[in-house]
Chain A
Amino acid sequence: MDYHLQGTTAYVSAGAHGIGRAIADLLAAEGARVIVGDRDDAALDANAARWFGTVAANLATADGVAHAVGHVLDRFGGPPDILINNLGVGDSIPFEETTDDTWLRSFEVNLLGSVRTARALVPKMAARGSGSVVNTGSDLAKQPEPGFMEYGACKAGLLYLTKALAKQYAPAVRVNTVLPGPIWSRMWTREGGIVDQLVAHYGVDRDSAVKRFLEDRQMPMGIGEPQDVAHAVVFLASPLARFITGAALDVGGTIRGLI
């Protein structure tokens, strides 16, 4: 593909695995100099050769974001052309069992991390007069799922943040989000992840549980791959989407639910 990104600079948060890594790889393949931030320093070290640079930091903390952003500004000599806010993780927890800590933790991971990063970089992009931000949201931002109450609420917040930032920083900086449906990532496949939770819910084997879930949700496209999201993200980040700002691009999941 040629998304016309040769020679640009990009920072991808939470890019060591899954969707984030697919985005970072696609940006790098398109000729961007990519710095990947993640707390998993082992995964960063193992994949370092794929990208221009890496920075290990706990991006769910103020100090971690400050460290990562400082590194990015230092190495690029200013804000990147492209910022990908990919930080986030969800667990299915019944609402009654969520504690204040569950909610506060989710807020830090699924919203505040991206707020802190955007606050540190977007004004600098605007001052320069150009930049493009893509936030990795979720179909749950528009489509309620009782088991993901705090995750969905944060992703709905991220959707609002996307539109509000788009409005504030137009025309210099475009800000968009993608809303992936189910994607084969660690959130699904890891031990205790969504697949395991579906197995427990339906009381059948893994393949049958996923099949039942897709039928119940009327999701005809099935479960996507990280690359499917990466293409949507990189398209929005690229000059091909030059007149698109404040948009929320569904990838795979949401056809029915729109709140």
Chain B
Amino acid sequence: MDYSSFGLHDKIAVVTGASQGIGRAIALGFAHAGAHLVLAKHPSGRHEEIKQVVAEIEALGRKAIVVPTDVSHVDQVRGMIDKAKETFGRVDVLVNNAGWTGTTPALDVTEDEYDRTMAASLKSVFFACQAAAKVMIPQGGGKIVNIGSNFGVVAFQGRSVYAAAKAGVHHLSRALSLEWAKQGVTVNVVAPCITETDSRKVILERPGYKEWATGQMLPVGRWNQPDDVVGAVLFLSSHMADMIVGHVLMVDGGWTIH
């Protein structure tokens, strides 16, 4: 889709979890809109995939750098924003897309799994927002879009900690908006439902799951695709959404209507 009219030409966008799925689609969406990209990915794995993303961005005549980042570690998150500032001189947009969840029933969740989920899915978002805002406020403003989840609105079995983390992301975004809106930094959320990506295949292919989800939970009758999320993220990153603050925009095919 042509996104060149979103006023994002030559903007600097940081996208975490950019090697595949939703993050990859968002990064490419920004490149189609004319932005340059700082792509954060976990230091291990998917090296070929991220090279492919860089190649696709460069083929569009846009710049892209890769910053290996384990978002669970605050020093690495700060380093990611520092690297963006150092390379491009500013940070116009931050999309916190990276996250992690186990699927363990609540009775069996260990402290380690709890901490991993919270660190990757909530703590990472707070400190990335904080680091980005410290760059955005002196430069006159910026846009932050955090990727939430339908499970941050309605509960789901086997996702107790993740659901709490995502609900935390939603509310954190409202709270940060209240503190930073006057200084030109808006913080919003795009909340997808489970999306047809490589990392979710194992869940989507469980017997009966697809029939249940598309038949009972998704009024639109199909899975979310990574590209479905891109329009909402670009819109909230653009000046068209200057008055939209602290909002949780559901991109969930109607899952949370119920």
Chain A residues with CB under 8 Å of chain B are 1-2, 4, 163-164, 166-167, 170-171, 181, 218, 220-221, 224-225, 228-229, 231-232, 235, 238-247, 249-252, 255-256
A255 touching B245 in the complex, CB below 8 Å, given contacts A221-B181, A240-B232? yes
Residues of B within 8 A of A246 (CB): 219, 250, 254, 256-257
Q: How far is the CB of A60 from chain B (nearest CB, A)?
A: 28
Cα(A104)–Cα(B229), bound, Å:
41
A1 touching B240 in the complex, CB below 8 Å, given contacts A163-B257, A245-B254, A246-B256? yes
Chain B residues with CB under 8 Å of chain A are 1-2, 4-6, 174, 177-178, 181-182, 219-222, 224-225, 228-229, 231-232, 234-235, 240-247, 249-254, 256-258
Q: Is the CB of A243 within 8 A of B220?
A: yes
> Of B219, B229, B256, which one neighbours A171 at CB under 8 angstroms?
B219
Cα(A239)–Cα(B1), bound, Å:
10
Chain A contact residues: over half helix, strand or loop, or mixed? loop
A220 touching B245 in the complex, CB below 8 Å, given contacts A241-B232, A245-B253? yes
Residues of B within 8 A of A166 (CB): 219, 254, 257
Cα(A190)–Cα(B232), bound, Å:
34
Residues of B within 8 A of A229 (CB): 243
Residues of A within 8 A of B256 (CB): 246
Residues of A within 8 A of B178 (CB): 218, 220, 255-256
Cα(A247)–Cα(B240), bound, Å:
18
Q: How far is the CB of B197 from chain A (nearest CB, A)?
A: 14
Residues of A within 8 A of B174 (CB): 255-256
Residues of B within 8 A of A252 (CB): 243-245
Number of interchain pairs (Cβ within 8 Å): 109
11 contacting pairs across A/B (C-beta < 8 A): A1-B6, A166-B254, A170-B219, A220-B178, A221-B243, A225-B243, A231-B241, A239-B231, A244-B232, A246-B250, A246-B254
Residues of A within 8 A of B219 (CB): 166-167, 170-171, 245-246
Q: Is the CB of A240 within 8 A of B254?
A: no
Residues of A within 8 A of B232 (CB): 240-241, 244
> Of A1, A164, A170, A241, which one neighbours B231 at CB under 8 angstroms?
A241
> Of B5, B231, B234, B245, which one neighbours A242 at CB under 8 angstroms?
B231
Q: Is the CB of A170 within 8 A of B221?
A: yes
Q: Is the CB of A250 within 8 A of B241?
A: no
Residues of B within 8 A of A163 (CB): 257
Residues of B within 8 A of A245 (CB): 219-220, 253-254, 257
The residue in B181, B234, B240 that gathers the most chain A C-beta atoms within 10 A of its C-beta is: B240
Cα(A242)–Cα(B254), bound, Å:
11
A250 touching B254 in the complex, CB below 8 Å, given contacts A240-B232, A243-B224, A245-B220? no
Q: Is the CB of A167 within 8 A of B6?
A: no
Q: Is the CB of A247 within 8 A of B244?
A: no
Cα(A244)–Cα(B235), bound, Å:
13
Q: Is the CB of B222 within 8 A of A171?
A: yes
> Of A167, A181, A235, A239, which one neighbours B235 at CB under 8 angstroms?
A235
Q: Is the CB of B257 within 8 A of A167?
A: yes
Q: What 13 new A-B contacts, CB under 8 Å, besides A163-B257, A246-B257, A251-B243?
A: A2-B5, A170-B254, A218-B178, A231-B240, A231-B241, A235-B240, A239-B1, A239-B231, A240-B232, A241-B232, A243-B253, A246-B219, A249-B247
Cα(A65)–Cα(B127), bound, Å:
52
The residue in B182, B246, B253 that gathers the most chain A C-beta atoms within 10 A of its C-beta is: B253
Q: Is the CB of A249 within 8 A of B222?
A: no
Q: How far is the CB of B249 from chain A (nearest CB, A)?
A: 6
The residue in A181, A228, A238 that gathers the most chain B C-beta atoms within 10 A of its C-beta is: A228
Q: Is the CB of B254 within 8 A of A232?
A: no
Q: Is the CB of B250 within 8 A of A247?
A: yes
Q: How far is the CB of A155 from chain B (nearest CB, A)?
A: 17
* Among all A-B residue pairs, the 7 with the closest Cβ atoms: A240-B231, A170-B219, A243-B228, A246-B257, A228-B243, A231-B240, A220-B181
The residue in A218, A232, A239 that gathers the most chain B C-beta atoms within 10 A of its C-beta is: A232
Q: Is the CB of A255 within 8 A of B177?
A: yes
Q: Is the CB of A2 within 8 A of B182?
A: no
Q: Is the CB of A235 within 8 A of B231?
A: yes
A247 touching B249 in the complex, CB below 8 Å, given contacts A167-B254, A242-B231, A255-B178? yes
Q: How far is the CB of B80 from chain A (nearest CB, A)?
A: 27
> Of B245, B250, B252, which one neighbours A221 at CB under 8 angstroms?
B245
Residues of A within 8 A of B251 (CB): 241, 243-244, 247
